[in-house]
Amino acid sequence: MSKIKTAFFCSNCGYESMKWVGKCPSCSQWNTFVEEVLDKGNAKEHNWKDFKGEKRATKAVALQDVTVTEERRIVTKDGELNRVLGGGVVPGSIILVGGEPGIGKSTLFLQHGLMMNEIVVLYISGEESESQIKMRADRLKIKNDNFYLLTETSVQSIFQEIKKLQPQLVIVDSIQTIQSSLIDSSAGSVSQIRECAAEFQRFAKETNTPVFLIGHITKDGSIAGPKILEHMVDTVLQFEGDRHYAYRILRTLKNRFGSTSELGIYEMTGDGMREVSNPSEILITQREEQLSGSAIAASLEGMRPLLIEVQALVTQSVYGTPQRTVSGFDLRRLQLLLAVLEKRGGFLFGTKDVFVNIAGGLKVEDPSIDLAVICALLSSYEDVPLPPHVCFAGEVGLNGEIRAVNRIEQRIAEAEKLGFEKIIVSKYNKKSFDPKAYKIQVVPAGQVHEVYQFLF
């Protein structure tokens, strides 16, 4: 009998070692190595020669002889997914989708598969039975005769069925439940995830069939499994949102075929996920009376302009150390802006508790939101509501100056479309646009104290 082969794998990054080590040489994490049994003696590659014609020949080609053709994408019925993927699904691409349990990953991609009735779709589930998926499909109320289900966890059985059906799109839910008989370890282990993902990658590239892999995430929010999993795939999408909100965000973390700063917004309903085509309206609270501590920021996520509401609350600190609490905004950025207001504006925030919230459960990284945060803080500090129909777009520097932001025309156009009368921007943005081209009044400002004098 042949000797059983074992190896040690880092559960954080997938680094392989022949013996146990305390600190991973690759990612420098401690006590992450686990022992797994390997059995690659029976390894046998799948032959995809008869799948959609001839198998591609492997040979070296001179770069000047490569002919470039415009990539033909599969355009889905969902405009938000098309935007996030960069214009549609690229044939032969492998896309990894991660998200918290219960956030709606399975519902979203079951819905996408059912909507694509022009092509043959195979939905592989290792987590749910056929009757469970059928109940969910009945709730979505979408009919599709080209949609096929396969409840299987063995990768060898899956590829036998794929050869018979020859689908044009494959959805795997989830990659952590799939296992290969070539490796003698449990499903979800580092070696199983890496081997199964490599099998699907080989299938996608050799047959030019796009594959969606749905994945679990760990406690810290990263995709479960080795880090190499994210390097193997072409696109990584993160499906996120608060369970207490109806809105979900599909965000691009990696994309070889498009921008990595796009996002799609969905609303969770009883009939599945509904795309939100104009998110600015849902991110701005419709209120009857004017309240202090609220400002509207003209932000930008990828190519999409968003008007979002920034809420701030400044109160006298009861305890010795004042609190700084944020939701959807960077805490260090808030501390920087408070320091600017203290040093350049003379406002005493050292004895105040400060709370900042981005309405709607969004997480915003665009620096152009700085000016709106400062105006919301000043409004709550003075307990004076900001004038209605005014929004802000500007980054704030350490000297209190308002710096220019990119693509200011799109921000101004979005504010005008939603009925705002004034937008305050950096005076250094004046060369980037023509104020006469807009009905909205564009107010340029160079320093934070100029904005304070204008508003209060």
What was the pLDDT predicted at 40? Answer: 54
Kindly report the CATH number assigned to the domain that includes residue 99: 3.40.50.300
User: Does the structure show a pLDDT above 70 at 117?
Assistant: yes
Regarding whether 257 and 297 lie in a shared domain, the answer is no
- Domain of 325? 281-455
Name the token pair of 56. 């591609």
Chain center to CA of 202: 25
Coil vs helix vs strand at 196: helix
Tell me how crowded residue 317 is: count the other CB atoms within 10 A of its CB.
Answer: 15
Regarding whether 16 and 99 lie in a shared domain, the answer is no
User: Does the structure show a pLDDT above 70 at 53?
Assistant: no
What's the mean pLDDT in 300-317?
A: 89
Q: Is residue 61 part of a domain?
A: no
Identify the weakest region by mean pLDDT among 1-5, 123-127, 191-195, 428-432.
Answer: 1-5
Kindly report the CATH number assigned to the domain that includes residue 325: 3.30.230.10
Say how far apart CA 431 and CA 383 lie, in whole Å: 35
Regarding whether 297 and 273 lie in a shared domain, the answer is no
Regarding whether 376 and 300 lie in a shared domain, the answer is yes
How far is CA 326 from each of CA 200, 337, 350, 411, rounded to the nearest angstrom?
41, 13, 17, 25
User: Does the structure show a pLDDT above 70 at 189?
Assistant: yes
Regarding whether 34 and 110 lie in a shared domain, the answer is no
What was the pLDDT predicted at 243? Answer: 65
What was the pLDDT predicted at 339? Answer: 94
Element (H, E) at 408: helix 408-417
pLDDT category, 41, cuts 50, 70, 90? low
Q: Which residues contact 120 (CB under 8 A, 6 or more apart)?
A: 146, 148, 165, 166, 167, 168, 169
Q: Which range is most confident: 174-178, 267-271, 345-349, 370-374?
A: 370-374
Q: Is residue 54 part of a domain?
A: no
Element (H, E) at 422: strand 422-426
Q: 310 with 374: CB under 8 angstroms?
A: no
What's the mean pLDDT in 358-368?
A: 85
Domain boundary among 242, 277, 312: 277
User: Does the structure show a pLDDT above 80 at 427?
Assistant: yes
Regarding whether 196 and 87 lie in a shared domain, the answer is yes
Q: Is residue 51 part of a domain?
A: no
> What is the DSSP annotation of 77-108?
S-HHHHHHHTSSBPTT-EEEEEE-TTSSHHHH
Regarding whether 209 and 78 lie in a shared domain, the answer is yes
Q: Is residue 409 part of a domain?
A: yes
User: Does the structure show a pLDDT above 70 at 159?
Assistant: yes
Q: Which range is most confident: 286-290, 311-315, 417-421?
A: 311-315
Say how far apart CA 227 and CA 230 lie, in whole Å: 6
Say how far apart CA 373 and CA 375 lie, in whole Å: 6
Regarding whether 297 and 252 lie in a shared domain, the answer is no
Domain boundary among 229, 244, 277: 277
Say how far apart CA 411 and CA 395 lie, in whole Å: 14
What was the pLDDT predicted at 45? Answer: 58
Q: 212 with 219: CB under 8 angstroms?
A: no
Regarding whether 148 and 16 lie in a shared domain, the answer is no
Identify the weakest region by mean pLDDT among 40-44, 85-89, 436-440.
Answer: 40-44
Regarding whether 114 and 82 lie in a shared domain, the answer is yes
Say how far apart CA 106 and CA 363 lie, in whole Å: 23
Say how far apart CA 321 and CA 196 lie, in whole Å: 52
pLDDT category, 453, cuts 50, 70, 90? very high
pLDDT tens, 236-247? 999 887 666 678
What was the pLDDT predicted at 121? Answer: 94
Q: Is residue 136 part of a domain?
A: yes
In the block, residue with structure tokens 């305050």:
424
Preceding amide of 180 cis, omega within 30? no
Decide the pairing of beta strands 33-38 and 169-173. unpaired
What was the pLDDT predicted at 389? Answer: 87
User: Does the structure show a pLDDT above 70 at 186?
Assistant: yes
Domain boundary among 277, 310, 333: 277
Regarding whether 236 and 115 lie in a shared domain, the answer is yes
Q: Is residue 44 part of a domain?
A: no
Number of domains in the chain: 3
The percent of residues in the chain predicted with pLDDT above 70, rounded, is 91
pLDDT tens, 224-263? 667 778 888 999 999 887 666 678 888 888 999 888 878 8
Coil vs helix vs strand at 242: coil
Binding region: 99-106
Tell me how crowded residue 256 is: count the other CB atoms within 10 A of its CB.
Answer: 11
Regarding whether 110 and 259 lie in a shared domain, the answer is yes
Q: Is residue 95 part of a domain?
A: yes
User: Does the structure show a pLDDT above 80 at 220?
Assistant: no
Binding region for ATP: 99-106
What was the pLDDT predicted at 50? Answer: 59
What was the pLDDT predicted at 151? Answer: 93
User: Does the structure show a pLDDT above 80 at 283?
Assistant: no
Q: Is residue 107 part of a domain?
A: yes
